[in-house]
Structure 1
Amino acid sequence: MAEPKVKLALVVDDSPVQCEILSKLLQEEGYKVFTANDGARGVSAYINYQPDLVLMDINMPIMNGYEAARKIKSLSQKNSLCPLIFITSLDTEQAFIDSIDAGGDGILVRPFSPDVFKAKIKSIQRINDLYGQIKQLQLIQQKDAELAEQLMADVLESRNFGLDKIGMIKKPADLFSGDIHLSSLSPNGDVHVMLGDFTGHGLRASIGAIPLAETFSSMTKKGFSLAEIISQINQQLYHLLPRDLFLAASFVSISNHDQTACIFNAGLPDTYLFDEQGVIKHQIPSSHPPMGVLPRLLDDHVSTIVRVSLSDTLVLISDGIIEARNVTGEMFGTCRFENAAKQGIIQSNICDEVLVTINDFCQEMPQEDDISLIEIPCDFGQQTFALNEQESKVDIFSTSVSPPSKVTAAWQWELTLTGERLSQVNPIPMAMNQIQAMEGHAQHWQNVFTILTELYINALDHGVLKLNSQLKNSPDGFSQYFVERDHRLKTLNEGYLSLLLSYFPLQSGGRLNIVIKDSGNGFDVDKVRAQFLTSKDINNQLSGRGIQLVEQLSESLIYQENGTFAEVTYLWHV
């Protein structure tokens, strides 16, 4: 069993007699005592011995008791309470006031009896003991909070995708950050990224972080669209968070296949798209209230979809950057941020340049809010396909169905959506859940997801919705295409789309037949085929690329019924 700690006391008095008397009384209370004969020596003794109690005379040479007390109290705040009692013959109101102002925790006026002195010491020591217990509890709570913060950070960070390529600034104003950075890879190769800023900062502001991260990650990996993920997150936070807590967030989905970025800003500062010279190509402001404020998204909400080049960079920021203040109270502001970001792009290090500029601007000012930035290069997340380009493929525009297999399908799954259900339900995650539930998880299902997505989008957009894909070949038309698509989906009340999956196990792998049928007018198969054969720049042409991609991934792609019926055969080996 550990021996109890010896209590230390320091007596500071220019009278040797008083030092001896006070030392004797303190020793009777179990203290080991050190003495000093002026205020300056008293401060030095305090630094050397770190006592548990200080008795201080007021009138002393070199440095009086008030000045010495102030210095000792400024030092003791970093470590412990260290009660300080003034011992004086000055029995005046001003002496009491000055003693308290100097940091004294009590005052004893001579003459006093030994019993009164000891009672005062016991009272002060009781306060000191309680302070020590509080400090110990605070230390335990601090360690627990640090552990919880580390576990939370590990949970969130472990789910994020592309941390070696996505640049981040994460500078919390408190132990727990109210800002959250999320990134995840969709099965078709699209990269979803989110920067969120919960109301305030600290532990309370982070309570929604883990369920938010779980929803974002799991829905992305299951193939849900960014719009569906945003809608689900909004509903989840609305029911989970108290009414005064919400999430300002900016969501981004980058598709290298389409060379597009889909951006939805709900309450954060503008999201930026910079070119390789640091020129702002697009600046997307907030267009919706923060997540969790409304029970569901506004009916007229629209994401911004922009064309991107591989050399472009998307930058998301929290308001902690814009609202950072210097010693005069001036905000950092958007202009300083934009200039710092431009220099960062030129120097290939946005995060460091922005953070250094903020620190130089703010100097020693306390940080008032969490500071966050996400830098997303538009050249990563490009898909690698399972099939080698040199492998032979069946003609993608064959007009007759290949001979039916004699093998009976191990299972089939079918879904038909009609009318407004087409705008409410995404069948691709449902289809992928069916495949993985029956056959388990496997890498090659990413190719199947891409095939299903491209077939579904073609059938819905160009079949049911009758959108002209040629619009996407010009910047203005590209934006118009998605605005019109959103409008037609919201007013859709007729048409249908059917999806049929048939799975055939093989000796060393398997075959999946995918049939999709829509109610549209179809398209000119021969005309599209001629475009593929004559186009010299098909890779930079957005319209029609989905068919080419499906052909790359499939064993065969067959169109019938004037293009309203598509059948794909996908083979894999294990």
Structure 2
Amino acid sequence: MVGPSFNILVIEPDPLEASDLETVLAGCDPVATRAEARDLRVEVRLVDGVPSGLAVFDSFRPHVVIIGPGAGPVAQGIDRLRSRAGLEPVPILGVGDEAAVANTAGPFATCDDLLFKPYNLQLIRMKLVALRRYCSLNRALVTQVSRMRRSQADLLKEQADAREIFRNMGRESCLEETGAIRYHLSPRAVLNGDVLAAAWAPGGKLMLLLGDFTGHGLAAAVGAVPLTSIFYSMVPKGFTLSQIARELNLKLHLVLPSNMFCCAVLLELDACKQHMRILNAGMPAACLSRAGGRLELLESRHLPLGVMRQLTLDNAIEYVPLERGDRLYLWSDGIHEARSTSGEMFGEERLLSLMANSRPADRFEHILSAVNHFSVEQQDDLSLVELCLDEVARDPAAIGEVHRRAAPARSLGDWSFSITLEAEELRDLDPVPLMHRFLSQFPDSGELRDTLSIVLGELCNNAIEHGLLELDSGLKRTESGFAEYYRRLEAGRRNLHRGWVRIELGTSREGERRTLQLLVADSGTGLPRQVEATNAYSGRGLALVQSLCRRLEFSPGVSEVRAVLDWPEEPGRAPSPEANPLPA
């Protein structure tokens, strides 16, 4: 059995020189060192020129090429031989004397090494052993490079597939459905550790989440899977911001490694009532740009999601009154930490100065342009979101109209449902998702989702805030009073020990029209004599309910309100508000 060989290609047109070289090289057989596991026999192939050498190159696969003294000027031939070798370089040796070595522009100037005449067998053997070691090392290196390239290609393919999965998961998003949201997400790697999600909640509320996971690439992006799945599952069912935040935090705490967490901003925007609830958990301060030009920073008030098992949201959620023309800006720390060539960070101060000195219509592009020109290389995932509150605003009456343009009616019998929530349940329970789950069992009820959410949410909130807790809406006369009002509301609900709220829901027929009857009662002292808007930050709720209902019934001193809504039966038929209208 013939073992492996160390192949030497000799290019020499002179038969005598070729014979001398073959004899010398044969004397070096085998090529081995004491440290190597096996010997290699030397196999010599003689050709008379570079073209002949190129012809046998692929079949012979030489480890070394030797160009004899009679080969003449072969500089271009040496380049062609190197090109034919490909990724595995083949050392090329020239045969000459000291004069050839001294001539830097001679025929052997581009050779890797030289053999001198008269030949020294021991020196040639040592060179061949060194070249064999070089070839073995190079072959191993080429093999590793090939493996790394295959691994890199596989990794890029997997990341591309993962990115497509993440993109498909965002199809429930309303980011592309509204002109209110402008955003820029720029990952440092193929996959993004920043995540942006937005969806319409029942009642026309906009819920938005911007998250920033620790790390980059696949490890950080994987966290977006539980985050977005929970968000897009809970928002359409009407769960509150605090309930969604708690569920997100618990899930991330259970599934993420101990060294990972998610900084996040989660907000709920009610354009109809013109206020916003926002939770900043570890993100850079959100910036509210008022229509008059004033900038307000909404700082982080809580640890990032996933750090602790339970969220403590007592003072973490801010209630912010809004005005027409306001814009909200959110960003990840990739903007703050963008670095210049000198290592200087872009920083919050530079960002706020840029915002203060740019027109609102151009501000989004100016921020991105400034960061791109400032930073020499992207060091982190970078995200920027602009929320234009004028674009979010929706006509409250149009919500009801959309749902009245319903599919043809289906047969439905009369039914009724009643539930009483005691103080213990009222501390945390939100009845809106409960009502949605109940109504989802009935044909066409989904078309009442937004309308019912607004009406039920407003009446239940009034029952708790004014009936049980006896809060005064006059507190909302100023921005600071607005925040104080909701601070007292949160504290009051946490410490609620007595009282109840009863919700009755059912259908009945008024003439030829089927209606949904909703009654909300509480154990409080009853409605005040005067129910009207007293300032810019309160009084919108009941007027909004009136615009959506067929009829709204209440009496001063009585702690119950009855709302009548049209059940979607006849496409195109508009509601006809009737008796007992609310004051303007």
* TM-score, normalised relative to structure 1: 0.76
Are 1:517 and 2:521 matched, yes or no? yes
Specify the alignment match of 1:376 in structure 2. 387
Which runs of 5 or more residues in structure 2 are unaligned?
Answer: 1-7, 12-16, 22-46, 94-100, 117-121, 402-410, 571-584
SS of match in other structure, 2:557: helix
Query: Given the alignment, which residue of 473, 481, 485 partners 2:485?
Result: 481
Give 1:342-361 correspondences, 5 Å limit: 342-344=356-358, 346=359, 348-361=361-374
The structure with the larger Rg is: 2
- Quick one: structure 1 residues 62 and 451, their matched pair in 2 at CA, closer, same or farther if it must change by over 3 Å? farther
Alignment partner of 1:256 is 2:271: yes
Give the conservation status (yes or no) of the 8 Å contact 1:278–1:343.
no
Instruction: Give the distance between the partners of 2:423 and 2:498, measured in 1 at CA.
Output: 4
Give the AA of the match of 1:323.
E
Alignment of 1:327-338 (within 5 A): 327-338=341-352
Are the structure 2 counterparts of residues 52 and 302 from structure 1 closer, same or farther at C-alpha, using a change threshold of 3 Å? closer
- Report the residue type matching 2:193 in the other structure: G
Query: Which structure 2 residues correspond to residues 199-238 of structure 1 after superposition, within 5 A?
Result: 199-238=214-253
Report the counterpart of residue 295 of structure 1 in structure 2.
Answer: 309
Task: Write out aligned runs for 1:48-67 (5 A).
Answer: 51-56=86-91, 61=104
Deviation at 1:498, TM superposition (A): 0.6
Pair 1:56–1:438, CA change in 2 (3 A): same
SS at match of 1:444: helix
Q: Is the 8 A contact 1:322 1:331 kept in 2?
A: yes
Q: CA deviation at 1:28?
A: 5.1
Cα 1:287–1:385 shift into 2, 3 Å: closer
Change (3 A) 1:57 1:387: closer
2:225 counterpart letter in structure 1: I
Q: 1:475 to 1:147 in 2, by over 3 A?
A: same
Distance in 2 separating the partners of 1:459 and 1:10: 96
2:167 alignment partner in structure 1: 153
Q: Give the counterpart letter for 1:305 in structure 2.
A: Y
Asked whether the equivalents of residues 314 and 377 of structure 1 are also in contact (C-alpha less than 8 Å), the reply is yes
2:540 is the counterpart of 1:545: yes
Corresponding residue for residue 182 of structure 2? 167
Partner-residue secondary structure (3-state), 1:420: helix
Structure 1 residues 280-315: Cα deviation after superposition (integer angstroms, max 9, x where no partner): 1x2011111100111111263331112222211111
What is the rounded CA distance, in whole Å, between the counterparts of 2:371 and 2:73 in structure 1? Answer: 47
Any conservation in 2 of the 1:256–1:380 contact (CA below 8 Å)? Answer: no
Match of 1:98 in 2: none
Closer, same or farther: CA 476–113 of 1 in aligned 2, 3 Å: closer
Q: Equivalents in 2 of 1:61, 1:486: separation in Å? A: 87
Q: Is the 8 A contact 1:326 1:362 kept in 2?
A: yes
Taking the aligned partners of 1:227 and 1:498, their CA distance within structure 2 comes to: 23
User: What is the deviation of 1:187?
Assistant: 1.1
State the secondary structure of the residue aligned to 2:272.
coil
1:504 and 1:510 in contact (8 A); partners too: yes
Structure 1 residues 406-442: Cα deviation after superposition (integer angstroms, max 9, x where no partner)? x996222221111132111111110111111223553
Per the TM alignment, residue 474 of structure 1 is displaced from its structure 2 partner at its CA by: 2.1
Assess if the C-alpha contact under 8 Å between 1:222 and 1:429 holds in 2.
yes
In structure 1, the residue matched to 2:212 is 197
Change in 2 beyond 3 A, CA 1:301/1:519: same
Partner of 2:203: 188
Paired with 2:114 and 2:338, the residues of 1 have a C-alpha distance of: 49
Structure 1 CA distance for aligned equivalents of residues 202 and 464 of structure 2: 20
Supply the AA of the counterpart residue of 1:423: R
Residue aligned with 1:437, SS? coil
- Counterparts of 1:481 and 1:174 in 2: how far apart (Å)? 45
Check 1:11–1:489 CA distance in 2 against 1; reply closer, same or farther (3 A cut).
farther
Shift of 1:217: 1.8
Please name the residue that 2:553 is paired with: 558
Measured at CA, do residues 11 and 306 of structure 1 come closer, stay the same or move farther in structure 2, by a change above 3 Å? farther
Cα 1:328/1:545, change in 2 over 3 Å: same
Q: Given that residues 314 and 491 in structure 2 are in contact (C-alpha distance below 8 angstroms), is that contact kept between their aligned partners in structure 1?
A: no
TM-score normalised to structure 2 length: 0.75
Considering only aligned residues, what root-mean-square deviation do their CA atoms show, in Å? 4.1
Query: Aligned pair in 2 of structure 1 residues 506, 153: CA closer, same or farther (>3 Å)?
Result: farther
Q: Give distance in 1, aligned partners of 2:552 and 2:499.
A: 24
**Residues 505 and 516 in structure 2, CA contact (< 8 A), matched pair in contact too:** yes
- Residue equivalent to 1:102: none
Equivalences for residues 294-443 of structure 1 within 5 A: 294-298=308-312, 300-344=314-358, 346=359, 348-363=361-376, 365=377, 367-385=378-396, 410-440=414-444, 442-443=446-447
Q: Which residue of 2 aligns with 1:400?
A: none
1:573 aligns with 2:569: yes
| 1:239 shift after superposition | 1.2
Any conservation in 2 of the 1:11–1:54 contact (CA below 8 Å)? no
More displaced 10-residue stretch of structure 1: 379-388 or 289-298: 379-388
Distance 2:139 2:234 in 1: 59
1:286 counterpart residue number:
300
Q: Which amino acid letter does the alignment assign opposite residue 570 of structure 1?
A: L
Cα drift, residue 229 of structure 1: 1.1
Q: 1:122 to 1:252 in 2, by over 3 A?
A: same
Conservation of the 8 A alpha-carbon contact between 2:201 and 2:207: yes
